[in-house]
Chain A
């Protein structure tokens, strides 16, 4: 490097004097990024404010009790009634059906992939499940209405052409990949030494999985279920398309029911004169929906944090 040493040095020193821009950038960037990060909080606040302001207006006209205990939802026409129970039952029943499909199948899929499948099978199956998870819900809605419903109706003649069963099932199928991949993560996080410990006692793979691995991963698995329920509760297009819009207060899954989300679509896409109770009801329902899913998400986070496996 002979005597060239010092040239670059000099240039660097030179530049340093004019490098005030770097200093400014260095000061501005963290603040800018902070503002950006705060946008996510503003989004939540925005949702809350949007929903709350109109919800408050709603509860000025309809009492809290009437809304949450009313079994009749008749937002239009003669003597309108705003009981949210039909929507709640619709939502809960469709989610329950979805979970009946998604939990066992998703969990079994997870167990298969995590405990039984060879690396090769896993490599093929997982991307396919990812595709399944990536299909737009509108496509599933179409599928529920034009494929699943006719099949179900040939099996259950009393089934209405729009019913909560078919979208419930399809929603379940849609959620399978989510349950499967989150549960598989939880199962995969159980250390191999647990499997070895159990196998060394002469346990079969099933006994290892069912009595050791699944219990050990249970918090992650349950968290995946809760997230899946939350997803089902918030799902919109499948039920909108395939479950019709009857505001029945019923537990008969062969009937058409409306979910909270489908109600929102119906009201926003339909007759909702601003300032009318109907219009406000949209926000009250959305608020209920938001609180529901928020609670579910918080529960899921709580479970997976609190009961983080200790092995």
Chain B
């Protein structure tokens, strides 16, 4: 919305004056040095885009590097003695143990919510029976305890064909979210074909009429020509996953399957290195635009404001 524009103009002002007067007191002018980000592969496209924009439009002197080691591996790099990475992207919230480690090491961690992702169930474009499913049906399909093997086990009028169940493997935050929040930590059907690479999942579903897979909305959005998304009935009629239903615009209609994605800031680093804080602020200010470009639903203005306040307090 409106605050977006304001943020951008402010940003531009900064960069235009930045090159002329490089003074050390003014934290966000003519910065140098590096910002090191690692963590979730799910958040990676968002953060990569953000970093690129920052480096091209905002601070050319700063090098922002973005890794994709995964949420947990990222936390491992993040939480080291003298301070590891500056940010850790996460497709889930920080765990208690991780927070404990941070406390132990004296690392102050600032959680920053950056966008919303919708867990999207995709099927083959030729699948004409499962275009709409209820939340419970979807959960049943993947639960080991339900023993569903054929589409007809879901609804009797569905074809009597075996379901090919797929998803990202345990490496991915998406899997963790699915298992913890949706399946409520019950066992996943052992027949589920878990893959490391999303491209493989896309390929699998696009070629298998009986396939159903789950992954982040962004991967669906980029492959709409090959896949169709299941519209989920959460009790108030089918909801199609899209940036509007996931986000605020349609009142979070998809919210049961929506999850926030985060980046965690090492506050110690932010205090030490002005470019880190500057990037953090930039990222929050631009989160809504970049989210939409990379397949995430944007945060609400309030959330952006809250984050900004927290960051500005660190200055």
Q: Indicate whether A and B are direct neighbours in the complex (CB within 8 Å).
A: yes
- A residues with a Cβ closer than 8 A to B are 74-78, 153, 160-162, 241, 244-246, 256, 266, 268-274
| Interface stretch of the complex, out of B22-30, B46-54, B192-200 | B192-200
B170 CB-CB contact with A under 8 Å: yes
Ranked nearest first, the 7 interchain pairs of A and B with the lowest CB-CB distance are: A76-B170, A271-B72, A270-B171, A245-B196, A270-B70, A271-B70, A161-B203
16 contacts between A and B (CB under 8 A): A76-B171, A77-B176, A77-B179, A77-B188, A161-B200, A161-B204, A162-B204, A246-B195, A256-B195, A269-B68, A269-B73, A270-B72, A271-B72, A271-B171, A272-B72, A272-B76
Please pick, from B73, B200, B207, the residue contacting A244 in the complex, using a CB distance under 8 A.
B200
Residues of the B chain whose Cβ atoms lie less than 8 Å from the Cβ of A256: 193, 195
Residues of the A chain whose Cβ atoms lie less than 8 Å from the Cβ of B171: 76, 245, 266, 270-271
Q: Which of B99-137 contact A (CB under 8 A)?
A: none
Knowing A75-B170, A78-B185, A273-B76 are in contact, say whether A245-B69 is a contact too (CB < 8 A): no
Residues of the B chain whose Cβ atoms lie less than 8 Å from the Cβ of A75: 170
Knowing A271-B70, A271-B73, A272-B72 are in contact, say whether A77-B193 is a contact too (CB < 8 A): no
B169 CB-CB contact with A under 8 Å: yes
Task: How many A-B residue pairs have C-beta atoms within 8 angstroms? Tell me.
Answer: 71
**Pair B179/A162 contact, Cβ less than 8 Å:** no
B258 CB-CB contact with A under 8 Å: no
B282 CB-CB contact with A under 8 Å: no
Q: Which of B191-237 contact A (CB under 8 A)?
A: 193-197, 200, 203-204, 207
Alpha-carbon distance A160/B195, docked complex (angstroms): 12
**Pair A160/B187 contact, Cβ less than 8 Å:** no
Best-surrounded residue of A76, A244, A256, A271 (most CB of chain B within 10 A): A271
B75 CB-CB contact with A under 8 Å: yes
B71 CB-CB contact with A under 8 Å: yes
Residues of the B chain whose Cβ atoms lie less than 8 Å from the Cβ of A271: 70-73, 170-171
Alpha-carbon distance A269/B71, docked complex (angstroms): 10
**Pair A272/B73 contact, Cβ less than 8 Å:** yes
Residues of the A chain whose Cβ atoms lie less than 8 Å from the Cβ of B169: 76, 245-246, 266
Residues of the B chain whose Cβ atoms lie less than 8 Å from the Cβ of A162: 195, 200, 204
